Structure 1
Amino acid sequence: MKSLKYKIASLAILATVSLGCKKQFDSAVQNKNLPISGLSPALLLPNIETSMLAPAFGQDERQNQYTACNYFYYGDNRYWTGSASLSYTPLTNVVAMEGEANALAATLSKPYLALAKFFRAFYFVNMSLKVGDLPMTQALQGLKNTTPVYDTQKQIFINSLALLESANKDLGEMIAVNKITQGTYVVDSKYDFFYKGDLLKWQKAINTYRLRILISLSKKVSDADLNVKGQFASILGDAVKYPIMTSMDDNLQYIYDGVFTFYPNSSRNFGNDATRYNTGATYINLLASLKDLRVMKVAEPARGLKFDDTDFRSFVGGISGQDQSTMAALVQAGKVSLIGRHRYYETLVGENTFIVSYPEMCFNIAEAINQGWVGGNAETWYKNGIFADFGFYGVNDGANTVLFQKSGGLLGDDVSYNVNFSYNDYYNQPAVKYAGNNVDGWKQILTQKYIAFARNSGMEAYYQWRRTGVPTFSVGAGNTDNGAIPLRFQYPTNERSANAANYKAAVQSQYGGSDDIFQLMWLLK
């Protein structure tokens, strides 16, 4: 892939900056009330960009039901009962970046101001997806306004979509000028970890992300203020004005280098984690039922089931809603598949973590066509998404090599198998072959998108389940306290005390005065 490797961690970058700049940078990051000046806006990119990452192997992943924890001392599979962690700190860095950019000439400032619009939209949408209404218009003013009024969730989405439209326009104009002048507008490649200053790739990512937001508004297609169908059609209808991702090379993704940054599963934590976390049934059992070779890339065979290692019946995940002690006993008996050791533990780099990806985009477009928002061939986009994700896992049409841990083996002690896999045979299964622009076809698109979200894209798999019910999530004593999966987070406790009047008004208008995690936000009604 051509995407920029994440070469150095944020602290390492700060160490290369002069002492004076470092002090100013630290102030910008740590104290939102201190005025700062004299920084290059590029210096603020590392924290802004890395804060976008939702790493694999965390609680989000277990709540997406891709993996599960079977060892109580290390964690559990329960959904949250309390408040959200919000992203106002990286947004403060965005404000600081805008401030520094505005002190520069237009040729130097415009690229950073365009990216800032995207970052604002990204963080505000992500926060709103967790809780609902939030301060946006009056937010980020520091001591000038410590009790900002809440914007409605609808207004947050309207504002964010407008920011993305504006960012796309700005980038398009700069790219056109650069073709003539060869570099009038640039982003410092040393500090842009994702795209190394490639403005076209940023423009593609922004428009692709906008498609994600529009799909998330599927229950609001009749709202004239949002114009969801019209916006989606405009993007797909003008590839020059609205370029979108065309391959996996365009992914907005975090790549671990194994020197300064390490995949969350790696040889460094194999001894502690390899048997205490296992695959989740919602994901693994789905792959196995479809005879999908990706299952052999991401999981170990459950040898206690007494099937051959390459028999799809050997791959069984732990049921997320199951009692944890029961799951632990099944793991110890070899009846639940552990996480694929070769892919995730034998190196320090694991796999890229997507923030916004080409396969997701393909499925979003397929869903929009299926739902009648736009014209086009949904099956083509559906197949593009499936086969692009096959490539990410190294699944070939024909001969494949798969590696598993030997029974009782240590790290690095692999057993290798040659497995033949036919794309046509896979696709022509009734459960996979696109059923058409109907409910069954829609569910197939969502199912494959869930597979492609695995260990990537933060909570997008959960948000899809919350919006559509696809796939069916496991619910039980092992992952809930009252037999239901939460539908939102509560607001942070400091918001309840520091901005009490506006907080209470927002909770009253949305949820009848109860900051209840099982209530539906506007987006889902």
Structure 2
Amino acid sequence: MKFNKIFAIAALAITMVFSSCNFENLDVDPNRATGSPANLILNGVLNNMWENAWTLEQRYNQYWCINYNYYGTNEYWSGPASTDYTRLKNVIKMEEEALKAGAPAVNPYSALGKFFRAYHFVNMTQKLGDLPLSEALQGLDIQAPKYNTQKEIYVQVLNWLDEANNDLAALIAKGGQKAEGDWFYNGDLSKWQKLVNSYKLRVLVSLSKKETDADLKLKTRFAEVLGNPTKFPIFTGNSDNLVFIPSGSIPNFYYRKNPNNYGFDALRENTSKLYIDLLKEFQDPRLFLVAEPAEAKVKAGVSPTSFDAFEGASTGENLDDMSTKAQKGEYSLISRKRYYVTYTGEPVTQVGYQEMCFNIAEGLNRGWATGVAEDWYKKGIQASMDFYGLKAGANNVDFQKSGAKLGEFNTYTINVDFAAYLAQAKVKYVGNNADGLAQILKQKYLAMAQNSGMEAYYNWRRTGIPAFLTGVGIGNQGKIPLRFKYPNAEYVTNKANVEAAVARQSFTNDDLFGKMWIIQ
């Protein structure tokens, strides 16, 4: 009897405990966060977005060469590209957390999220071609998403950019709106709105081969941006640029060339022939800031302040030959004064005013809107000169002393006359024709050195200007690839859809030299 009473009491207690329990919470760790504030996620999104200088991409752009194969080669890629889908998942999470915290449907994080979507999908499609978009990022709901065509991707990208502009305008009009966690523009939505529209101009110009496509409406979109600066504000100077500012106190954010790697890299890296020859062709004072005179030429009596003292190496040259010539001092090294003496280096522009000026000049050259292409062409050149700190009149330049320790320089003076520079036959804008377009594209190439990711390569792929150099040194039988292959994982997890996309685009065996829609 006593046992039965104890059992009954225990049973009642268990019943009461279980009736009061919520089993849904049993797997929740009270010591572990179940979410993150949108501003912290934004900080991470931006950390995954910034780009550095002196990367493989800048070798693909043919701004610099490596002359010692222990540290690398000048070959282009031969395999797949990585994708940005994980980064886009973080963008989606950022938007979700903002709503969870009580933000309205249109908020700073949702507006920036549309820009990030556009930015990352352009980054991916420029490398690969068709991609999953409409069925992508659905988690377990759709594990094998179908591929959208590249045209469909760009239609969506342009819509996202328009929506981002409208949302940012509405938030700015309310006042007091800020994107906390933003270390690019310190949360200033007006800066982001300028970026959205300036980036949109890049996207429109990148589609120049499709200017008659009725769905894209390139000319209409381009003209409305230029014709309505109130609705579509754009960059007005270099202070608006989207830039990564290297940190001298955080090793992961050092400028890529700095005193730590001077002993490894300084003599094993030199300037490229394409880049140096263009600067020499235009008698361009930027040459004296980005490169050093070839030691062999100076020893032969050529003045260090003569354009003839500089010599770049062809990206396509046999690497052994380049190494031998570099050791003999026949090639110009990158400027050790400019690029090695500090950990902060210089700002790395991702989307910049100078590039935007040349994009506008190109659109006007092509007749997409009313305006004076020459004015924007000149603005782009001046903005680039400003970036390098060049001023009219006397400018001091420092070249590392041969065989000396870092920081021991010879100082020379060069005179800069901007009016004379622009008046040169090869620089003076010749009009809205093919020759004028070539001038714009060459100056844009010079302005984007060590900046803007792979934009210099994409411009070459689209226009053939400036003519990139080829040869055994670039690999791939001396041919520059036109695209990357799809990630290997796609052939494991999404085989049917990726193979259908490859077949639709006529990429034989997912080849590197297939011409994607944007360049057809």
TM-score, reference length from structure 2:
0.92
- Displacement of 1:361 in angstroms is 0.3
Equivalent residue number for residue 282 of structure 1? 274
Residues 316 and 478 of structure 2 are in contact (CA less than 8 Å); yes or no, is this contact kept in structure 1? no
- Displacement of 1:480 in angstroms is 2.4
Distance 1:340 1:487 in 2: 31
Equivalent residue number for residue 6 of structure 1? none
The alignment partner of 1:319 has SS state of coil
The alignment partner of 2:243 has SS state of strand
Instruction: Trace 1:243-254 onto structure 2 (pairs within 5 A).
Output: 243-254=233-244
- Displacement of 1:55 in angstroms is 1.6
Q: Which moved more, 1:58-67 or 1:108-117?
A: 108-117
The alignment partner of 2:497 has SS state of helix
In structure 2, do the counterparts of structure 1 residues 262 and 154 end up closer, same or farther at CA, with 3 Å as the change threshold? same
In structure 2, do the counterparts of structure 1 residues 514 and 21 end up closer, same or farther at CA, with 3 Å as the change threshold? farther
1:480-516 deviation per Cα after TM superposition (whole angstroms, max 9, x unaligned): 2212111000000001111001001101101255311
Residues 39 and 179 of structure 2 are in contact (CA less than 8 Å); yes or no, is this contact kept in structure 1? yes
Equivalent residue number for residue 506 of structure 1? 501
Residues 251 and 356 of structure 1 are in contact (CA less than 8 Å); yes or no, is this contact kept in structure 2? yes
The alignment partner of 1:233 has SS state of helix
Equivalent residue number for residue 283 of structure 2? 291
Equivalent residue number for residue 150 of structure 2? 153
In angstroms, what is the RMSD of aligned CA positions?
1.4
Equivalent residue number for residue 352 of structure 1? 347
- Which runs of 5 or more structure 2 residues have no equivalent in the other structure? 1-28
Distance 1:281 1:263 in 2: 24
Distance 2:50 2:187 in 1: 18
Equivalent residue number for residue 127 of structure 1? 124
Distance 1:496 1:413 in 2: 54
Equivalent residue number for residue 378 of structure 2? 383
1:316-367 deviation per Cα after TM superposition (whole angstroms, max 9, x unaligned): 1111000011111111111101010011000111111111000000000000
Distance 2:498 2:383 in 1: 44
The alignment partner of 1:402 has SS state of strand
Distance 2:43 2:396 in 1: 38
Instruction: Trace 1:287-366 onto structure 2 (pairs within 5 A).
Output: 287-305=279-297, 306=300, 307-366=302-361
Distance 1:253 1:22 in 2: 38
Distance 1:85 1:314 in 2: 41
- Displacement of 1:103 in angstroms is 1.4
Distance 2:472 2:142 in 1: 44
- Displacement of 1:46 in angstroms is 2.1
Q: 1:166 aligns with which of 163, 166, 171?
A: 163
The alignment partner of 1:514 has SS state of helix
The one-letter code matched in structure 2 to 1:366 is A
Residues 508 and 514 of structure 2 are in contact (CA less than 8 Å); yes or no, is this contact kept in structure 1? no
- Displacement of 1:106 in angstroms is 3.3
Residues 101 and 108 of structure 1 are in contact (CA less than 8 Å); yes or no, is this contact kept in structure 2? no
In structure 2, do the counterparts of structure 1 residues 148 and 417 end up closer, same or farther at CA, with 3 Å as the change threshold? same
- Which runs of 5 or more structure 1 residues have no equivalent in the other structure? 1-19, 25-35
The alignment partner of 1:200 has SS state of helix
Residues 81 and 485 of structure 2 are in contact (CA less than 8 Å); yes or no, is this contact kept in structure 1? yes
1:53-95 deviation per Cα after TM superposition (whole angstroms, max 9, x unaligned): 2321111111100000100010000011110111112111101
Distance 1:209 1:43 in 2: 25
The alignment partner of 2:509 has SS state of coil
Q: Which moved more, 1:41-50 or 1:214-223?
A: 41-50
In structure 2, do the counterparts of structure 1 residues 248 and 429 end up closer, same or farther at CA, with 3 Å as the change threshold? same
Distance 1:343 1:108 in 2: 47
Q: Which moved more, 1:426-435 or 1:43-52?
A: 43-52
The one-letter code matched in structure 2 to 1:116 is G
In structure 2, do the counterparts of structure 1 residues 335 and 165 end up closer, same or farther at CA, with 3 Å as the change threshold? same
Residues 106 and 167 of structure 2 are in contact (CA less than 8 Å); yes or no, is this contact kept in structure 1? no
Distance 2:321 2:207 in 1: 39
Equivalent residue number for residue 51 of structure 1? 48
Equivalent residue number for residue 257 of structure 2? 265
TM-score, reference length from structure 1:
0.91
Residues 504 and 513 of structure 1 are in contact (CA less than 8 Å); yes or no, is this contact kept in structure 2? no
Distance 2:123 2:30 in 1: 31
Residues 406 and 413 of structure 1 are in contact (CA less than 8 Å); yes or no, is this contact kept in structure 2? yes
The alignment partner of 1:242 has SS state of coil
Equivalent residue number for residue 238 of structure 1? 228
1:433-474 deviation per Cα after TM superposition (whole angstroms, max 9, x unaligned): 001001100000000000011001110000000000000111
Distance 2:150 2:242 in 1: 25
1:153-202 deviation per Cα after TM superposition (whole angstroms, max 9, x unaligned): 00110001100100000000111111xxxx1x2211xx211000010000
Residues 69 and 276 of structure 1 are in contact (CA less than 8 Å); yes or no, is this contact kept in structure 2? yes
When Rg is computed on C-alpha atoms for both structures, the one with the higher figure is 2
Residues 108 and 186 of structure 1 are in contact (CA less than 8 Å); yes or no, is this contact kept in structure 2? no
Residues 47 and 90 of structure 1 are in contact (CA less than 8 Å); yes or no, is this contact kept in structure 2? no
Q: 1:74 aligns with which of 56, 71, 74?
A: 71
The alignment partner of 2:415 has SS state of strand
Distance 2:243 2:368 in 1: 28
Distance 1:145 1:457 in 2: 34
Residues 99 and 105 of structure 2 are in contact (CA less than 8 Å); yes or no, is this contact kept in structure 1? no
Q: Which moved more, 1:50-59 or 1:335-344?
A: 50-59
- Displacement of 1:105 in angstroms is 2.6
In structure 2, do the counterparts of structure 1 residues 320 and 417 end up closer, same or farther at CA, with 3 Å as the change threshold? same
Alignment length (residue pairs): 487
The alignment partner of 2:485 has SS state of coil
In structure 2, do the counterparts of structure 1 residues 270 and 22 end up closer, same or farther at CA, with 3 Å as the change threshold? farther
Distance 1:248 1:493 in 2: 40
Residues 287 and 294 of structure 1 are in contact (CA less than 8 Å); yes or no, is this contact kept in structure 2? yes
Q: 1:205 aligns with which of 172, 179, 195?
A: 195
The alignment partner of 1:493 has SS state of coil
Equivalent residue number for residue 209 of structure 2? 219
In structure 2, do the counterparts of structure 1 residues 232 and 408 end up closer, same or farther at CA, with 3 Å as the change threshold? same
Distance 1:85 1:137 in 2: 19
- Displacement of 1:22 in angstroms is 11
Residues 303 and 309 of structure 1 are in contact (CA less than 8 Å); yes or no, is this contact kept in structure 2? no
- Displacement of 1:257 in angstroms is 2.1
Distance 2:196 2:414 in 1: 39
Equivalent residue number for residue 367 of structure 2? 372
